[in-house]
Structure 1
């Protein structure tokens, strides 16, 4: 009889322990919230408790970008998207232009560092997005062409300044009544036309296009001025004055001596 009571009490104590353990596990499972991560992985959902973020340890991670290497101090509970924002300050690449590789796999912006296995001194590989890299390359080429166009237009403008001074000098000389060699005017016109050809071969955009048109207009006005000066220069040529030198004979003058030789025939 005593043995049966002991077994019964032991069974009751065991039942109470199992009930307590089961209820505790149920409460823990109710408190834990889960979320589906990219790739189908079920992980514990992060809470919005700011205290967790404050108490989370800092990590020193190294980022490799081409030949460059730099270290970042990040929160262990941070996401790869937040790391990309820090990388922007180092490289100038916007987050949408970055791809982060860790352990041979590209990581999504919402992936957490600690859940992905990132530890102290872990290494991330940064790759620029190919489409973004192509756009950057095309923009660099476009900027280089714009700079080249501006430099060519500037050089033409300097040459036009010098030629304009010569046009003004010729205009002043002809205005003072001086004769200018026509070859000088013709040569100056040819030099101006050569500058016009240079401008035609320049592909300009934006403000460079406006500067190009301005220089083309300057060349046109200089050529027109030289054409007018050529006409004025030719008009200054005066025909030679013919001086009459006729000799007058008077009737009172003695006749010229006779020079006729007579031949006598036998």
Structure 2
């Protein structure tokens, strides 16, 4: 069975490819078996592969998931982090977007305001300079764009279903310097308590399921940021 596997962040750096062509003797092939075979083929990356997630056609796949012949396969490393070319991908309604351009909180808020909603909130995640005694100069974000866009749209739909609240989310990729915004989430709802709850849910869910990675560029060099063990991605703030 011949498959192409997309790679990201530190995993792509270790292997030296953003996409690899791989032939497996096993058929049918499961997601878990693919990780085992890749670990054997690329021993220097085995520890990263072991903790990575497999995505099949933009959806996370358990280890026992079968891999179809023509599926799009990606290996999602558990770190948070640019696309070299200009990127701007959004849903047709403009509520959800992945872009390498500066973010505008007011424009995003305007998309969710409702005459029947008495509360609105904007969460803005920005690049901070100091984390303990470590100084950051900038952050560099990378995303599996089509899947990231689908996942933030999924979050917005869940916010609507659970709280009857409007939600819009934009995430930036590429170089994000100090005090610049990396992610903005706008929410409006009937009442403030619902609005607070829905907004908090959206950012926490984003950190758990959206394939975005973050490289810290600082005085001590460049490093992919390790995640919170409970999340796919690490904290923004």
TM-score by length of 1: 0.24
TM-score by length of 2: 0.27
The higher radius of gyration belongs to 1
Structure with bigger helix share is 1
> Taking CA–CA contacts closer than 8 Å with sequence separation of 6 or more, which of the two structures ends up with the larger relative contact order?
2
